[in-house]
Chains A and B, each alone.
Chain A
Amino acid sequence: MKPDVYGVMAEFDNPTDLVNATRAVCEQGYKKLDTYTPFPIEELNDILHLHKNKLSLIVLVGGLLGGLSGFLLQYFVTVIYFPINVAGRPLDSWPAYIIITFELTILLGCISAVFGMLALCGLPMPYHPVFNVPRFSAASHDRFFLCIEAADPLFDMEKTSGLLETLEAKEVSEVAH
């Protein structure tokens, strides 16, 4: 059965309170939670174990593919498809290929960084339940939010809200679907 709420959201007016509350909630054993802040906060990465992601690997693969395709493209054109004999000089003049190989490495690396980032974040996602909280627009302004999702096994509407209220939250509200 789908729970009838998405979760509970607590609002804080400074990053320190948010970090302390997130730490406390994690120590209670909650796993399915997320914070919403107007700028990146390093400490949350420690608490939520977010230091590793797959983006570097995606970019590495993208960059290698770019470099390889750049080199092979030039090799194919100058040696096989459209060879030009300039006074018997070697057709496979690889030093001349380095620049375009490099540029295509960077190009595909950057494209995979941007699209990889969007894919890992699940963007574009115009609708998300947290936007239903009326005060949530302040998350891009000057407020800091912590949301415990109903999908968490420990989630209990009253207990979880009670816990958040003890953590110096300015306001605790329900997040509708």
Chain B
Amino acid sequence: MADEQQVIEKPEPHEILAKGYTFGTITDQIAAVVLTKRTPLLWIVGIGTGFALLNLLLLSATLLFAKGVGIWGIRTPVMWGFAITNFVWWIGIGHAGTLISAILLLLNQKWRNSINRFAEAMTLFAVACAGMFPLLHMGRPWLFYWLFPYPNSTTVQPNFRSPLVWDVFAVSTYATVSALFWFVGLIPDLGTLRDRAKNSFAKYAYGMLAMGWRGSARHWSVYETATLLLAGMSTPLVLSVHTVVSFDFTIAIVPGWHSTFFPPYFVAGAIYSGFAMVLALAIPLRASYGLEGIITARHLDNCAKVMLATGMIVAYAYIMEVFMSWYSGSVYEQQAFWNRMTGPYSTQYWFLVTCNIVSPNLLWFKSFRSKPALLFLSSIIVLIGMWLERYMIIVSSLAQDYVPSSWSLFHATRWDWATYWGTIGLFLFLFFLFVRLLPMISIFEVRTLLPQAKVRQEVKR
């Protein structure tokens, strides 16, 4: 009998989920976000803003197709400008999702189960936004397939010794693997939605997507192997993607770019900005959908700690960057950093140092980390700071490289800003669409966190 069984469990110091949930209530709460007609104001505002900005993207992309990349501020020598800044920024944001879904899974961090689903969706949409920029930046985006090796009548092939071609492979692999991993995670939850949906169209649509998932033990065992293997392969992948992105810079001999510590520095920065985005999304979502019991203060606290840790790595990298430029003995390297700190971009430089190095130090205090509103603010500051970091690396190095006679400053045009805000719109639109149509929290993984999910060992009588 149930009350004769002895339960031996260590008490958890901080519960991952609020007390009192059952398998039923936790399923209903998450599924209700999708299956009811009630939509909170945040959703309407979010998707409305997203849609408006998405139209701005369409407008600026159309103008770009009609007139060419000259509508942007890219002029010799700063030919990368906003496009590559935004590309690196967006792809960095995506990294936190894969870190949460893959690396934290391998490290057996149970708290990730509440946040991995929407973080993975964030990855997917951030990579979609990132992908826009190299395509639009090409000038003739309709010829993008020239990037891939295929037999063609000109017999010209991509140069496999170029980091830009590596990037094509890295980013397209990353996008594909993220989408697959995300969909695999969704299958059991789509089964749940199929069984809970009242509307016959919803039932049919979720049923088709769930592919007949029935929760069989034989399926679960293969499924868990698949998840583990995908996590194992995504872990080196996510670290490699931003490494390859950093190769776009380090392989070149431009002063301020050509250094060996760029890969770890970029990866840390990516995770830093990604966790900032996770917090910026999680805090309003949990408040407006009443999910504080599932995305608890502990989750926010842990995310803030990861942000602090990666922020400190980034701070170390900034210091080492300056040190190495001095230690290199190269006048060009020294000049590049002197220009960053005192030159035409010094305002942005010191602003980014304030955002990325000074502001995260507030996260050392537990009282600061326990206030969602302050965390939200702090994550927005980090996102701005990380954008400025990429802007600084790209623009200041290109604007003032070896030959002073060819120096020229970058001035963003209104269409630079329109394209950038347009991709923010694309991201918001896709993200809020996802929140409305698919479970934003992994239902089956959250069930395993409940104390009653543990199989109790019966005491031998």
Contacts and interface: CB of A to CB of B under 8 A. Distances in A.
Nearest to B194: A140
A127 B456 CA distance: 34
B216 interface: yes
B60 interface: no
Given A110-B176, A113-B230, A45 B221 contact: yes
B116 interface: no
Nearest to B225: A55
A107 B444 CA distance: 26
A136 B216 CA distance: 12
B233 interface: yes
B217 A99 contact: no
B211 A111 contact: no
B218 A121 contact: yes
- In terms of DSSP, what is the predominant structure of the interface of chain B? helix
Contacts of B169: 99-100, 103-104
A110 B217 contact: no
Contact of A103 (B191, B220, B234, B240): B240
B217 A45 contact: yes
A58 to B, nearest CB: 9
Contact of A20 (B157, B196, B247, B458): B458
B233 A110 contact: yes
User: What band does the interface of chain B fall in when counting residues whose beta carbon is under 8 Å from A?
Assistant: 35 or more
Contact of A37 (B5, B215, B230, B236): B215
A159 interface: no
A116 B160 contact: no
Nearest to A108: B173
Nearest to B446: A39
A40 B221 contact: yes
Contact of B208 (A36, A48, A126): A126
Contacts of B166: 99-100, 103
A121 B195 contact: no
* Residue among B157, B240, B454 with most chain A CB within 10 A: B157
B192 interface: yes
A65 to B, nearest CB: 14
B170 A103 contact: yes
Contact of A118 (B149, B170, B211, B217): B211
A68 interface: no
Contacts of A55: 222, 225-226, 229
Contact of A114 (B5, B27, B226): B226
A55 B228 CA distance: 11
A50 B218 contact: yes
Given A81-B157, A111-B180, A123 B217 contact: no
A31 to B, nearest CB: 13
Contact of B226 (A15, A34, A113): A113
Contacts of A39: 188, 220, 444-445, 447-448, 453
Interface in A62-111: 63, 73-74, 77-78, 81-82, 84, 93, 96-97, 99-100, 102-104, 106-107, 109-111
A2 interface: no
A84 B244 CA distance: 23
B368 interface: no
Contacts of A77: 149, 157-158, 160
Interface string A7-39: 000000011100110000000000000111111
Query: Which 3 residue pairs are nearest across A and B when measured between Cβ atoms?
Result: A124-B211, A142-B23, A117-B226
Given A34-B216, A106-B177, 19 more contacts: A15-B453, A15-B454, A35-B217, A37-B217, A40-B223, A43-B455, A53-B222, A55-B222, A55-B229, A74-B160, A78-B161, A100-B165, A103-B169, A107-B177, A109-B233, A110-B234, A120-B222, A124-B212, A140-B196
